[in-house]
Every structure is written in structure tokens, then in C-alpha cells.
Amino acid sequence: MFVGVVSFGHKNAHWLRLVIDQYRDFPWTSQIVVVSNIPRDLGPDVEVLVRTPPDNPKYFPFFLRELLCERANNFDMFIATEDDVGVSSRNIYSFDAMSALLPPTVVPGFLRYELLPDGQRMIHDMHAQFGWVPGSVRRIGDSVFAQYENVHSALYMLTRDQLQQAVQSGRMHDMHSPTRWYGPLEAATTHLYEHCGLTKVFPVSHAEDFLVHHLPNTYAGKIGVSDDVFFRYVRAVSDETDGAPSGRLAPPTCALSNPWFDKRHFEPARGDLVEFAGAPKNILWIGSTEGSAELTLSAQGHNVTCVALDGIHAKALRLAGLEALSGSLEEAIAQLDERLHDLIVIPEMLERFSEPPEVLAALARKLAPHGRILVTSPNLARWRGVAEHGTPFRQRLPIGRGVHFKTHRIHPIDARRLRLWFRAAGLRCSVQHVGVGLRLLRRLTAGTLDHRLAPKVVAVGTMR
């Protein structure tokens, strides 16, 4: 087994020694190589290769990819890792066993976890806009595999056959291929799956064996999900039918190159939405994902019905004790029968439907007297940049011009367009621009530039 570790500077020197000690304890480790920008003395059994950093040091991990290509025929198994990710013999044994079940272009992959001060484990690679891929579930014997959209884990293992498949793609040395979600630091890992012909799957039937520890616990409590939430999704994914599409409410990913405008699958409970709900009432939530806010509202005595983003989220929400519907909006509304709701919440979702006025009109028929529809959305009129398709990583360019739903799977939404949609649905509407730091900016500009400065727009609609 070959182990390649990339280590830049002195910051992770402590973790580097711990990681090397772990690999020394494995009897099947044949060679350990550390690629570094500075000389290091790590013992006679560790080869240190000093490389001059490129102009952008974030590209430094690509040196490890070159090393794997050079030694692709010399070992049966390869591990490439950053200098702060711990592994166990259980991880390696399970990787070998799962790889034997899969074709050489499909690679069992890992998710990282971190520990809070109280010892609680957080799966921090499960966050933000990354979700499970509907229709990706595959069963082989007793083993279940599925694709998770976040393919970065700072560590990957490859068999010789898997590595040779990547080498044959001719893209292993390519540092500048476009990537939508990742910067150059992460791309040293993610390019394998985006451009080198490999597909990463997560063995959900052996989930515990494919979790690795990000030793510094840098993001614990900031991003990620708890063990309870993670294994709730493991159960939900495991219950999926092989290859069956998991009826999505609307596409969560737009075709803009910046993922900032994608629907988030995992995020903390939205305090603004929870506060808006007020006294206990019947709430219909459109586009539910992890359900943090919905669970908070349910615990406060609200009767919450979720229309989930897809079938996987719906199953996970039911496992958490919420009522969850899935399928198209028409199918979900049909399941509501004659029920009316005091509040309908549509967070970062309305702009993803092809005909938003029709969606608002259909939902208005499910409003109780004096009920309200709350819509939150990104403000695409804001002076912000997104990447152009085909440019290296995330180069900033103006947005708002040339965004069309048929092309980009998202409407160019702003306050003016929201008012038009509500009016077309026969609803009154009040709109407010919101965003961190906006209060000071509003004071300085007397509110005249709110439509350009605010990252989000909130609209509240009522019956006329």
C-alpha cells in the first residue's frame, strides 16, 4: 500500500506526525511519502519530497496527483490524503471489500466528521447545497451504494485498477479544468470524479466504516449535521428503490456557475422564519430539506406539513416525526385534501418553478382566511458576481443580465418580479430587502440602493 500525504507549511505539523504514526501501525503499508514545500525530518521510513509551490499555493496538492501517476503500477492500493485526516484499519479493510464489488470506474468514498468539545460527532462534509443524488441508489448483494453530491473529503483511496482508469483519462495533470463547487485546494481531490472518469459512491449499508476524522475539528458546530441527522438520511437512502428517480418538487440546482443560488439541503434552523411564524398555527412548508426550522416550529406547538424537495428528504422528515409529502406540487396539493393553512412558507424555492404565478395561485387556495404566504429568495438584482461557464474556478462576472429560466433553471428574481408574480396570482404583497450588514448600508444610502445591496428578498402575500 502506498500512502501519499500533502503538507504545506508548519500549521499542521502536529497532525502530520499523528497521521504518519497511524499509517506506520498498519502492517500492509509499504511506502509513506510526504509532499511538502519545506524540508522535514519525519524518520527514516518516510520519504519527503520538497516541491516549490506554484504561484497560487492552493494548487500545491496537485503535486501529489503527479506522484500517484508516476507510481501507478508499483502498488496494489493507494491513499492520498491531506495532513490532518485520521484513518483506521476498519476504513481500509472496508474500502478494499467494497471496491471488490464495484467496477473499476466506481470508487467507494469517505465523508469526514469532527468532534464538538462534548464529544458529539458532526458529519461536516454533509452541508449547504450538497444533497443525495436521486436515482443513484444501487444494491449489490447486501451492500447499498448511493452518490452524495459533495465529492470532497481531503482523502481518497484507490485500487491499482481505479487509479489506472483515472490515468488513462489523460486529465490527471490538469489543474485548471472548470469546477462549479470547489476551489483549487479541493479540486486536487474532486477532479478525479469531475474530469478523470471516476464516480464516487458512498456505501450507505456500511456508513460507519466510511467516516474519517478531520482531526483539527475546525468546523465543528459551524457546518455539518449531527450523527442523528446523518443516520436518519442513511436509513432514508437505504430505503430507496434501485435506480428509481426520487420525485423532485423542482430542480434544486440551477445552471448558473455559482452554487450560491442553489437550494440548500442542509442548514441551521432559520431564525427569521421561525420568528415570523408567531403563535401556534397550521403551517405548510414548500421545499423542505433537512427540516431544522420545521422541527423547531413543531416543537413550539405548530402543526407543520412539509412538501419535501425530493423523496429522500421526505423519508428523512418522516423519520424525524414530521408529516412530509413528496412528488410534484400538484401531487402534494392533492394529498392535502380540504386542509387550509394559516401560513405557507416558500423559502428559496419559488424561483425554481417554471410558472411562479400559477404556483402562488394554487397555494392561495390552501390559505385559511387571513392566512399569509411567506416567500424568501436570493436577490438577483444585487451587485454580485458569478462564474462564467468554462472559466477556471470562480471568476467573478456581473449577473442579472441574460438569466433565463429555460437556460438557467432559475428565474432572475428580485423585488419587482416578486410583486408582479403575487399580483398575477391575485394576492396583495409587501416586499422587504434583507441581509447581513444592510442596516448600516441603508443608513448610509437612505435606502435608495437596497435593491442592489441586499442579498435576499422577503415577500409576504395575503388575499385581496
Average pLDDT over residues 97-119: 98
- Tell me the three state secondary structure of residue 129: coil
Query: Which H/E stretch holds residue 115?
Result: strand 111-115
Q: Is 311 exposed, middle or buried (0-12, 13-18, 19+ CB in 10 A)?
A: buried
Radius of gyration (C-alpha) of the chain in whole angstroms: 24
pLDDT at 361 over 60: yes
pLDDT at 444 over 90: no
The domain limits of the chain are 2-238, 259-463
365 vs 176 pLDDT, higher one: 365
How many residues would you count in the chain? 464
Name which of 201-205, 396-400, 453-457 the model is least confident about. Answer: 396-400
Average pLDDT over all residues of the chain: 90
Q: How many helices (H) and strands (E) does the chain have?
A: 15, 23
Beta strand ranges found along 239-326 (DSSP E): 282-288, 303-308, 323-325
Average pLDDT over residues 288-303: 96
pLDDT at 175: 81
pLDDT at 392: 38
CB 169 within 8 A of CB 197: yes
pLDDT at 42: 96
User: What residues contact residue 131 under an 8 Å CB cut-off, 6+ apart?
Assistant: 148, 149, 252, 265, 266, 289, 309, 310, 312, 313
Average pLDDT over residues 299-313: 96
pLDDT at 396 over 80: no
pLDDT bucket at 390, cuts 50 / 70 / 90: very low
Give the separation between CA 195 and CA 427, rounded to whole angstroms.
Answer: 47
Give tens-digit pLDDT for 24-66.
999 988 999 999 999 999 999 999 999 998 888 888 999 999 9
Q: Which long-range contacts (CB under 8 A, 24 or more apart) does 51-57 make?
A: 53/8, 54/175, 56/184, 57/8
In which region does residue 88 sit, left (phi positive, over 0), alpha (psi from -120 to 50) or beta (all else)?
beta
Q: Which CATH number fits domain 259-463: 3.40.50.10470, 2.40.50.140, 3.40.50.300, 3.40.50.150?
A: 3.40.50.150
pLDDT at 319: 98
pLDDT at 438: 59
pLDDT at 285 over 50: yes
Reply yes or no on domain 2-238 having CATH 3.90.550.
Answer: yes
Q: Is 279 exposed, middle or buried (0-12, 13-18, 19+ CB in 10 A)?
A: exposed
Q: Residue 157 to residues 136, 163, 214, 232: CA-CA distances in angstroms?
A: 21, 9, 16, 26
pTM of the shown model: 0.92
Average pLDDT over residues 418-430: 96
CB 179 within 8 A of CB 80: no
Average pLDDT over residues 228-248: 88
Closest CA to 203 of 295, 259, 139: 139
Give the separation between CA 91 and CA 101, rounded to whole angstroms.
Answer: 16
